Amino acid sequence: MFEFRTYRPPDRAPDRHAANGLLLSALAALALHTQRLPVWLMLGVCSLIAWRYLLENYSWRHPPRLVRWCLLLAAVVAVFNTYGTLLGREAGISLLALLVGLKILEIRSLRDYFVSVFLLYFLTLGAFLFSQSLLTAGLAMAVAVVTTAALARLSLPNSLPISEGLRLTMAILWRAIPIMLVMYLLFPRIQGSLWGLPGDAFDARAGLSDTVTPGSINALSSSDAVAFRVDFADQMPHARQLYWRSLVLSRTDGNAWSRARDPVTVNADSWLSRGIGKPIDYTVDHEATGHRWLVAMDVPATVPPEAVARPGYILEAKRPVHQRFQYAMQSYPAQSAEPLTSAAHALHLRTPRPTSVRVQTLIDAWRREPDPVLAVLRYLREQDFGYTLTPPLLRGDFLDEFLFVSRRGYCEHYAAAFATLMRHLGLPSRLVVGYQGGDWNHAGGYLVVRQADAHAWVEVWREERGWTRVDPTAAVAPERVELGMNALKALLEQGALPGELAPAAIRALLEGSWLARQWLHLGMFWDAANTAWNRWVMAYGPERQQRFLRSLGFEAPSWAQVAATLIIGVAALLLVLAATLLWTRNKSDPVTAAYRRFCAKLGRSGLVRRADEGPLDFYHHILTARPELAADSKPIIALYVTLRYGNVARADLVDQLRGRVRRFRVAHQ
């Protein structure tokens, strides 16, 4: 009977430098999670790594098994106490980091070192559960290089220099790049994200809400997070046209505004028929929000295949946007009038409570004006109203307090007050929230719209024109629309009052120092690099793969064809790699190269080594044929045998062999 046994290589303890390389790799992998893991956990794992360092370098004793079990129990309890669970993204990575530290502390065999290295690979990979940016990829690649170097150093003989481990690592990674590219381009893609993230991966997303209260949009004013980027097919429109609608809010209780219940799907073909003016074609790269609503420039005329149309020219994705989402759009500068049903007319005139006496006095006065809309805008512009990023809290009657007490607010204050006044004046109105403006990136040639550009404006129903956009914020702070939110914040930080500065003075304030301008340009180039990474790497899905395969000559590639192409491509690369290694192995080996030079010198004198003659047999051949060369040949052959067959890779012996071969001389007979 045959007996199968698991092969276990002979164990050995790596040298101190190899062990310290593993500890350095652990610190590098842990550094990837510095901003996400709690401080106590980082200090705990670093303490475990420091303990291991003292074990390796100062002969400290290993902790007893009872101590290790207590540390494991404490780690599990601490993670559960912090997150309330052991599952999920944050809790899982935290527990993995602690387990890596504990595994490193308990290392006793070479196998334990290897297991620790592979745990570090998993910890490095975990960084992509939080971010797939170019910076994360670059840092993770650097950590992978360091970790692979530690693995190579552990695998090589202890006598080998550290530089040899680094050389081997770079050679492995360099040869893996072609295979990686073929796998990336040809591996069959599925619809959806590369990462199947747990539910907590989508918590705390920055973005608009479908309910607006005074101060809710203002909370986004300090966020530099990118909401979306826009590529225009032609020239970018003027800043006054850059209104990006996202939601239409029609219900109000006097303080908060919300969407109408149960929005229906509308026929998007009617959007195209009501467009007025030259159409604007553009592509939106929408960041992940966890919500369904998308953005489109006023007034959208098309609906992407992955979205549906809602009343109010609103686009909604068919599923929550949990990953970057790109879609092509077309918009018109204006729209023709559309019919308003009696139910919609009543909904957009509904007010929750009667007004105060002084507000009613103003409303009665505005009713006598030829155009109440212009009258209210003139009132906001001429009275002592101001735009501020820190509006006061309004506790009572919002409309009364805002018009007569605070007179300070953000865009949602002005939009909510204006829409309410329009309804009291008998004009149907609704609140529109989205974004306004954006920053043009000269390096990438696209518009960047951030969460700080979140904005609210009003649409008023006019019999002759239909829904008409009115931005009351522009009456108080025209710089918000003309220059953008970043410019307005810069003016406010320097003490300038919106609406009171000449254009020349504004340009002087916004010019900034040379260093600030260079920093701004550097940021643009970095954003362009990240955008290219997202589009060509992270967004490489089934559609892009199909286009790539069609460019290679495939008409309508199936999964079977893609898989076959992948297998053939990888096999061809492996064959080329194997042939290259076989071809260059002897040429690149300094020991073999030196021995061949030695044999060539003897061969030129007529003493030719036979193909079946090993180094010791060749020495006896020399001793018999040319005994006068035996004294100089013996140390050369002894060094070659030691280096080739003695599992020794000392650099000083290699240099000694090269020197002896170089000095070896043969007199011709």
- Residue by residue, DSSP assigns 23-91 as HHHHHHHHHTTTTTS-HHHHHHHHHHHHHHHHHHHH-PPPPPHHHHHHHHHHHHHHHHHHHS-S-SHHH
Q: Give the domain range for residue 569.
A: 545-579
- Indicate the residue among 498, 515, 532 that finishes a domain: 515
Residue 193 confidence (pLDDT) above 50 = no
The rounded distance, in Å, linking the Cα atoms of 65 and 147 is 28
Q: Are residues 483 and 344 in the same domain?
A: yes
Whether 445 is covered by a domain: the verdict is yes
pLDDT digits (tens, 9 = 90+) for 255-281: 888 888 756 666 666 666 667 788 899
Tally the C-alpha atoms within 13 A of residue 302's C-alpha that lie toward its C-beta: 14
Residue 433 confidence (pLDDT) above 80 = yes
Peptide bond just before 230 cis, omega within 30 deg: no
| Structural domain count, the chain | 4
Return the structure tokens found at 574: 């492996």
Q: Are residues 423 and 561 in the same domain?
A: no
pLDDT digits (tens, 9 = 90+) for 39-61: 899 998 899 999 989 988 887 88
Whether 163 is covered by a domain: the verdict is no
Q: Mean pLDDT score of the chain, rounded to an integer? A: 81
Whether 205 is covered by a domain: the verdict is no
Q: Which of 24, 10, 11 is nearest to 52 (CA)?
A: 24
Strands (E), 213-324: 226-232, 243-249, 251-252, 257-258, 275-276, 280-286, 296-297, 307-310, 314-317
The answer to whether 414 and 472 are in contact (CB under 8 A) is yes
pLDDT digits (tens, 9 = 90+) for 538-552: 777 777 777 777 777
Kindly give, in sequence order, each residue whose CB lies less than 8 Å from that of residue 268, ignoring residues fewer than 6 positions away: 302, 303, 309
Kindly give, in sequence order, each residue whose CB lies less than 8 Å from that of residue 180, ignoring residues fewer than 6 positions away: none
pTM above 0.85, yes or no: no
Q: Are residues 262 and 400 in the same domain?
A: yes
Q: Which of 377, 379, 326 is nearest to 543 (CA)?
A: 326
Q: Are residues 571 and 608 in the same domain?
A: no
> Per residue in 196-217, is it b (16+ CB within 10 Å) or e — as a string?
ebeeebbeeebbbeeebbbbbb
Neighbours of 429 (CB within 10 A): 25
Residue with tokens 């080329």: 576
Q: Are residues 477 and 350 in the same domain?
A: yes
Q: Are residues 461 and 556 in the same domain?
A: no
Whether 187 is covered by a domain: the verdict is no
Q: Are residues 332 and 227 in the same domain?
A: yes
Instruction: Report residue 614's pLDDT band, with 50, 70 and 90 as the boundaries.
Output: confident
Q: Are residues 497 and 566 in the same domain?
A: no
Whether 64 is covered by a domain: the verdict is yes
Q: Are residues 242 and 330 in the same domain?
A: yes
The rounded distance, in Å, linking the Cα atoms of 196 and 630 is 69
Q: Are residues 499 and 629 in the same domain?
A: no
Residue 64 confidence (pLDDT) above 70 = yes
Whether 47 is covered by a domain: the verdict is yes
Tally the C-alpha atoms within 13 A of residue 69's C-alpha that lie toward its C-beta: 3
Q: Are residues 482 and 551 in the same domain?
A: no
Which has the higher per-residue pLDDT, 203 or 127?
Answer: 127
Whether 9 is covered by a domain: the verdict is no
pLDDT for the residue numbered 254: 81
Q: Are residues 625 and 491 in the same domain?
A: no
Whether 338 is covered by a domain: the verdict is yes
Q: Which of 64, 74, 69 is nearest to 44 (CA)?
A: 74
pLDDT digits (tens, 9 = 90+) for 99-146: 989 998 888 888 888 888 899 999 999 888 888 888 888 899 999 888
